[in-house]
Chain A
Amino acid sequence: MTTSRQTDVVARFSRRHRLHPLEALPWLLIVVSFFLFPDYLALGAQILATTLFGLSVDLVLGYAGIVTLGHAAFFGMGAYTAGYLAAHGVGAPVVGMIAAMAMAGAVGFLSGLIILRAQGLSILMLTLVVCVMLQEAANKATSITGGADGLQGMEVAPVLDLFRFDLYGKTAYWYAAIVLFLGWLVARTLVHSPFGRSLTGIRENVARMRAIGTPVFGRLLTIYTISAAMAGAAGALIAETTQLVALNAISVDLSGVILVMVIFGGVGRLYGAFVGVPLYMIAQDRFSEIDPTYWYFWIGLLLVIVVMFARGGVLGLMELLWQRLPRRRVR
């Protein structure tokens, strides 16, 4: 590839990624769903919070190329921070969320310092090990976390002192939607910035990036920390909207499931989490209602079918179908 072709690609890339009308679709769907599905708002809030979690995973997975099997460590740290504060008199959700992000980001920074020099299978295992160790610590520290029984006594105040968390989940839904929106703004800005492009470069060819003088480790650590803080925010969301935190929030199981959801949606396209998380969670909810004993089978089958038909998850599948449509313009 010659230099002029490279700048050409980059120029078209940045032109193409100004705000596209299709990007309003998720937000439209979120607003419409509130009115169409008033009985499903609790599930909706959980889906929104998990989407934020998925977005944080996509940032490191799809853009920086770090395969992580331990992101629930940050999600859980955020959840426990918000939960602990709420159980000890600091019930204001926004305060809890900021504290959660700070805590999760700090843990992300520290663990990133230790493990981000590794690659391949090693880094996967290291992220997993960090998560497992934090899970064990949470299990043991019963006085802080409540151990296996979960954190008790959370008293979450109304959001901004105005909006109480109700049984039907209305407040939870909007709170989660707004936080997700803010997270999306951050992610989108990052991804389309020079910083974001350098991450893609690192993912594609580390040696070349090093050769042109990019501080690779520094970039990776930065995105890892930001992603950890975002995951922490998602954890705080779940804690505050459900008013409980248990060990499953910091578990390897959750790390695995979120990874699967994001890959299922399609990595590295910013919207993988927006597609993969709701589809997976709704499928899981439906399957487990239809076939409570064997729904695992149907979910597994769904995953296999999606991969067999297209690489790159559901977004990849959609891209494949889009390309098959007749073109009016000659490219």
Chain B
Amino acid sequence: MHMTSRFILALLSASLAGIGVAAAQTEIKVGVISTMSGPDAQPGDQMNKGIDLYVKTHAKDLPPGVKVTLIYRDDTGANPDIAKRLATELVTREHVNFIAGVVWSPNASAIAPVATEAKVPFIDMNAAAAPIPRLSPYIIRDSFTLWQVAGPIGEWAAKQGWKKGYTAVTDYPPGYDAEGGFTQSFEKGGGKVIDKVRMAFPTEDFSPFIQRIKDSKPDVTFIFVPAGKKATAVMKAWNDLGLKQAGITLVTTQDVMLDEELPNMTAVGNGIVSSGTYSAAATRPANQVFLNAWNAAYGDKAIPDFLSVQGWDGMDAIYTVIKQTGGKFDGDQAMKILTNWKTDASPRGPISINPATRDIIENVYIRRGEMVNGKLQNVEFDTIPNVKDPWKEANPPK
């Protein structure tokens, strides 16, 4: 009798504990909509790596009994209808707590109404069109807008005393934003953009456009093309046509002086000044920590870029919500925390979300391509702190 009752008691308490554990086991699901196939998979790949790395290295930060599950979906490119359907499915089928990711602006715009209707926070980790956070009260963005990033380089160019500027951007909305951002601050600083060109999206050989620039003889040229092989092609054309020798300086943004493309550029990228929110060569301690984890996970040859850091930081915001609520929250509570989120521990330096716009406030760095230990790197030499998106400042909501 004695043994049996103790046995029953043990069994009972064990099962109660089991039920208790099962009840306490909270699964936070993050639906990541990324681009993993097709011609435009490169940025998606970098962003995913940053997300995965954060989750892998911060498991111990989670409250006890809470686990995070990432659910990846492929939008295969700038396909807003697919993105919208994926977001809908993530919300209705998988019941995710967060939607995250999204490389392309049209996709983010399409997802916004889904976030609103389902009351699920959407952490935009890249899509850079300026109005996006306004499309839903459930959006925060931790990436950037081209106005934010292109403005400082225009200001810097004007400060160098250059008077005649030229802009060449790819013919799509981020290009227009970059063109606007540069032109506005360059002309405010005393310069004049004498001509501009918008280059068709599929262009692979930029020689005719670079030739046009050479013929116009500006002091400085601002070029913006999507990150990736187009950027390398532009630099090659710039080099081949001898524009540096002709006395024309090239300035650009981090999309062209893309960290993982630098090994392909070497001599061509040497001396090129660009503005950006993140350089893999940054020396701040938070970046060292990030790089060590990155290289340990992905090998020495793998180089992170701003997309990777945006993925990393976005997950940090999500983890902040989890930690502050113990894993129990609804969409509105999460948004309250996200809207006021800030951190000094980002590889980019101090970043924060602007509660008024739900967009990011971050430092923008001016960097120069320099050979460091035989490798081309973006070396930061100037900082414009806490830049807000100028487009939203200039265009208040109606």
Contacts and interface: CB of A to CB of B under 8 A. Distances in A.
A178 interface: no
A68 interface: no
A149 B89 contact: no
B80 interface: yes
Contacts of A242: 80-81, 84-85, 110
Nearest to B76: A288
Instruction: Give the interface size class of chain B.
Output: 20 to 34
Contacts of A46: 81, 85
A244 B111 CA distance: 11
B103 interface: no
B237 interface: no
Contact of A288 (B74, B79, B84): B74
Given A46-B81, A246-B79, A292 B73 contact: yes
Contacts, number: 84
A167 B114 CA distance: 8
Given A289-B73, A293-B37, A248 B79 contact: yes
Interface in A30-81: 39-40, 42-43, 46
Contacts of B36: 292-293
Instruction: Give the interface size class of chain A.
Output: 20 to 34
A149 B173 contact: yes
Interface of A: 39-40, 42-43, 46, 136, 139, 147-150, 152, 167-169, 238, 242-244, 246-249, 288-289, 292-296
B92 A148 contact: no
Interface string B63-88: 00000000011101111110011001
Contacts of A169: 88
Contact of B117 (A167, A293, A294): A167
Contact of B88 (A147, A167, A238, A295): A167
Contacts of A147: 172-173
Interface of B: 36-38, 72-74, 76-81, 84-85, 88-89, 91-93, 105-106, 109-110, 113-114, 117-118, 129, 171-173, 200-201
Given A149-B105, A149-B173, A293-B37, A248 B88 contact: no
Contacts of B79: 246, 248
B111 to A, nearest CB: 10
A288 B37 contact: yes
Contacts of A238: 81
A244 B37 contact: no
Nearest to A243: B113
